[in-house]
């Protein structure tokens, strides 16, 4: 008779044990316990920036705002920063890597501001026409429907 009662007391212990195994990664998922080595990452990131700078020298500075001119160079730069962050056991992007990338953006793309388009209303003649055409068509369709509904003998 003590068996069912002891099993009931062992159930929470068993559940805690299974939860512990899953938390430790025994169930198939590995947890990373490495700490981010920020100083190593900050030491390695400038090499990515230097490489990007050398590649950007190949592009005419007037074309720096045209992403299609240097997209491969920027992709290499992004992969380099991600690789160096991961080698230092840091996630990517992180605030330090973002700060470095922002510095590169300021260096190369600070003059690439997007011009805002100033929208204006069309001239009154065009605006009135664009408003009246749908209104007239709606009135014509309503008139046609009412006229056809009164002349049901034709349909």
**Is CATH 1.10.150.510 the right assignment for the domain spanning 38-110?**
yes
Cis ω for the linkage preceding 93 (within 30 of 0): yes
DSSP 62: G
Residue 83: in which H helix or E strand, if any? helix 67-87
16: region left, alpha or beta (phi > 0 left; psi from -120 to 50 alpha): alpha
Name every residue whose Cβ is closer than 8 Å to that of residue 98 and which is 6 or more positions away in sequence. Answer: none
- Burial grade of 84 (CB within 10 A; 0-12, 13-18, 19 or more): buried
Note the pTM of the prediction, 2 decimals.
0.53
Among 42, 81, 62, smallest CA distance to 73 is for 81
**Residue 29 clears pLDDT 60, i.e. is over it:** no
Give the count of beta carbons closer than 10 Å to the beta carbon of residue 88. Answer: 23
pLDDT tens per residue, range 63-112: 888 889 899 999 999 999 999 999 999 998 899 999 999 999 999 988 88
Domain boundaries, the chain: 38-110
């Amino acid at each position: 008779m003590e068996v069912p009662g002891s099993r009931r007391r062992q159930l929470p212990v068993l559940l805690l044990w299974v939860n512990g195994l899953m938390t430790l990664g025994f169930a198939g998922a590995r947890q990373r316990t490495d700490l981010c080595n920020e100083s190593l990452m900050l030491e390695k990131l400038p090499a990515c920036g230097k490489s990007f700078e050398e590649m950007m020298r190949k592009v005419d500075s007037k074309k720096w705002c045209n992403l299609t001119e240097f997209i491969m160079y920027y992709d290499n730069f992004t992969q380099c920063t991600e690789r160096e962050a991961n080698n230092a056991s840091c996630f990517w992007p992180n605030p330090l890597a973002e700060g470095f990338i922002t510095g590169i953006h300021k260096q190369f793309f600070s003059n690439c501001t997007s011009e805002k388009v100033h929208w204006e209303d069309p001239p009154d003649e065009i605006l009135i026409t664009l408003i009246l055409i749908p209104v007239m068509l709606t009135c014509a369709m309503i008139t046609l429907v009412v006229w056809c509904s009164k002349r049901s003998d034709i349909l």
